[in-house]
Amino acid sequence: MTAQQWPVHSMDRPRPPVVDPGPERPPVPPPSDAIVLFDGKDLSQWRSQDSTPAKWLVRDGYAEVAVGTGPIITRREFGSMQLHIEWATPTPPKGEGQERGNSGVFLMTHYEIQVLDSYRNETYADGQAGAVYGQTPPLVNASRPPGQWQTYDILFHRPRFASDGTVRDSARVTVLHNGVLVQDNTVITGWTVHAARARYQPHPDRLPLFLQDHGNPTRYRDIWVREVKE
């Protein structure tokens, strides 16, 4: 079956094979032309949804979801980009399935690469870590155990819309999870939605990056972007 034939969030859809990505590693300095969005010190590059300062907790070099305060959103806007971001889900793990360490990296505000504790945690394939949420499961499950730092390296090409609002080019995304390829130039089929088939709505050429508060105290560190010239 091709991707589009599986019902959204189908529990029958095969789970990707598990790959051990090796032990967690300390972060390395970003490249010289990177736009650093979080260096472990403060969230000055981020805001809340109502434009007030970001309320997530910053300590010991990471930012942790302050549950109930909502997402954090970059003050800058981006189109196509290379993104590096590190995350760790709570340990000991709490909850099951989508309730365990859920967060998400929303490219251009609307396209979620799922963040979830997918280490020995059963959920639907298109909702596990490294999935284009609700659309495309990761090629493999390269998750580390909860509490350990994990990396995403993402290459995202923004969608393009014709002047009448129809899609000229779909967005595409390549994702390395802990250095392992999990999305290979995957076509994004529309805005991230829950339990529904995605579709596009036109939007500007640049939009903020958005990190999700899904009710779990997941942590982030070492976030930087390199813009991809168009």
Q: List contacts with Mg ion (CB under 5 A).
A: 102, 104, 114, 212, 214
C-beta closer to Mg ion: residue 25 or 197? 197
Beta strands in 126-217 (DSSP E): 150-157, 160-161, 167-169, 172-177, 180-187, 210-211
C-beta closer to Mg ion: residue 123 or 189? 123
Q: How far is the CB of 131 from Mg ion (least distance, A)?
A: 9
Is the preceding omega at residue 92 within 30 degrees of 0, hence cis?
Answer: yes
What is the rounded distance in angstroms from the CA atom of residue 37 to the CA atom of residue 62?
12
Q: How far is the CB of 54 from Mg ion (least distance, A)?
A: 18
Q: How far is the CB of 98 from Mg ion (least distance, A)?
A: 8
Closest by Cα among 10, 226, 204 to 108: 204
Tokens found for residue 190: 């529309």
What is the rounded distance in angstroms from the CA atom of residue 171 to the CA atom of residue 159?
4
> Which residue number has the CB closest to Mg ion?
104
Residue whose pair of structure tokens reads 């859920």 in the numeric block: 102
Question: In a 3-state reduction of DSSP, which class is residue 168?
Answer: strand
Backbone phi, psi, residue 93, to 5° = -65, 145
Residue 131 CB-half CA count within 13 A: 26
C-beta closer to Mg ion: residue 128 or 212? 212
Q: How far is the CB of 115 from Mg ion (least distance, A)?
A: 6
C-beta closer to Mg ion: residue 67 or 228? 67
Q: How far is the CB of 112 from Mg ion (least distance, A)?
A: 6
C-beta closer to Mg ion: residue 8 or 228? 8
